[in-house]
Amino acid sequence: MRIGVSVNEFLHEFPSITRDQALEVYNLVEKQYTVDQIKSLVNGPSNASSTPRFYSANR
């Protein structure tokens, strides 16, 4: 989400994303997670990499 764009505007442009999902990503960015860390949350564990990963509690 860009600065200056409301959550409602964002959700209007991306109707398949729920308000909870948008706010969860916003909170992760606010906590200074990197894009790669957020991708790891979405993708879950991977046996192909030995680097530490973050996992979503919602999985």
Q: Could you write out the three-class secondary structure of 36-53?
A: HHHHHHHHCCCCCCCCCC
- DSSP structure class, residue 15: T
- Whether 5 has a pLDDT exceeding 80, the answer reads no
Task: For residues 50 and 45, give the distance between their C-alpha atoms in angstroms, rounded to a whole number.
Answer: 10
Task: For residues 3 and 30, give the distance between their C-alpha atoms in angstroms, rounded to a whole number.
Answer: 12
Domain boundaries along the sequence of the chain: 20-59
pLDDT at 20: 92
**Tell me: the pLDDT tens digits for 9-56?**
889 999 999 999 888 888 877 788 788 887 888 887 665 554 555 555
Q: Are 25 and 37 in contact (CB under 8 A)?
A: no
